[in-house]
Amino acid sequence: MSDHSVREDASVLSQLDQGLHRIERWLNIAAGVLVLFIVLFSVINIVGRGVFNRPFNAYFDLMGQSVPLIAFLGLAFCQRVGGHIRMDLFIGQIKGRALWVIEAVLTLLTMLTIAALSWGAWTHTLRALTKGDSTEDINMPLWPIKGALFLMFALLEARLTLQFLGYLRAIATGERRPIAIPVIETPAEQAEREAASVSGMKGD
C-alpha cells in the first residue's frame, strides 16, 4: 500500500471534507484510548485471577463490547487517508479520467454495501432495544454497542459520499489531484511532504 495525501482548498466540498475529518480524528483517538483501557483492564483481570483468585466478573462482557468499537471507530478516518489495504499496484498504473471513473465506480459499490450494512445494524439495534438483549454475566444492554456500529457505518457512508462527489468532480474537470480524496503519492512527493513536516516542526 502506498502513502496517500488529501488535497484541500476553500471549496464547499473541501470544507465538508475537513469538517467530517475533525470528527473522524476524535473517533480515531477514542479508539486508541479504548485500546489502552482494554490493556489495563486485562492486566487487572490477570492479576486479580492469578494473585488474589478473584477475576473481574464483567471482564468478558466488557471485552465483547469494546472490541467491535476498536474495529469500527476508525473506519471513516482510515477511508479518508487511504489507509485501507487495496490494490494500489494496479490502480497506480492508471492515469487521468480513466482512474477517476474506476475509483467512482468502486466507491459507489462500496457505498451500496455500507448502506446495506447500516440498515442491518439499525434493525439489530431496534431489535436489541425492544427485546432487551443483554450480556450473560452482568446483563449489559446490547443496543448501545449496536447503535454505535450503526453510527460508524453512517459516518463511513458520509465519507464515501464526499469521496464519490470528489471523483465525479475530477471526472468533469480532469484535475490530477482532486479535492477530498486520497491520492497515491510518488516517492518524491512523499519525501517532499515529510521534509515540509519536519521543517514545520523545527520552525515551531
- Written as one letter, the residue type at 3 is D
**Domain limits, the chain:** 4-203
**Separation between Cα atoms, residue 179 and residue 165, nearest integer Å:** 9
Please report, rounded to a whole number, the percentage of residues in the chain having pLDDT higher than 90: 37
Contacts of residue 82, Cβ cutoff 8 Å, sequence gap at least 6: 4, 6, 182, 183, 184
Q: Are 171 and 101 in contact (CB under 8 A)?
A: yes
CA angle at residue 74 from 2 to 98, to 5 degrees?
Answer: 40
The pLDDT confidence band at residue 200, using thresholds 50, 70 and 90, is low
The H or E element containing residue 29 is helix 12-50
User: How high is the mean pLDDT of the chain?
Assistant: 83
Q: What is the pTM of this model?
A: 0.81
* pLDDT for 177 beyond 50: yes
* pLDDT for 84 beyond 80: no
- pLDDT for 2 equals 43
- pLDDT for 117 equals 95
Q: Are 162 and 13 in contact (CB under 8 A)?
A: yes
**Separation between Cα atoms, residue 106 and residue 149, nearest integer Å:** 23
**Separation between Cα atoms, residue 142 and residue 79, nearest integer Å:** 27
The pLDDT confidence band at residue 8, using thresholds 50, 70 and 90, is confident
Task: Give the residue carrying C-alpha cell 432487551.
Answer: 132
* pLDDT for 87 beyond 70: no
Please report, rounded to a whole number, the percentage of residues in the chain having pLDDT higher than 70: 84
Write the pLDDT tens digit of every residue in 49-81.
Answer: 777 777 777 777 888 888 888 888 988 988 888
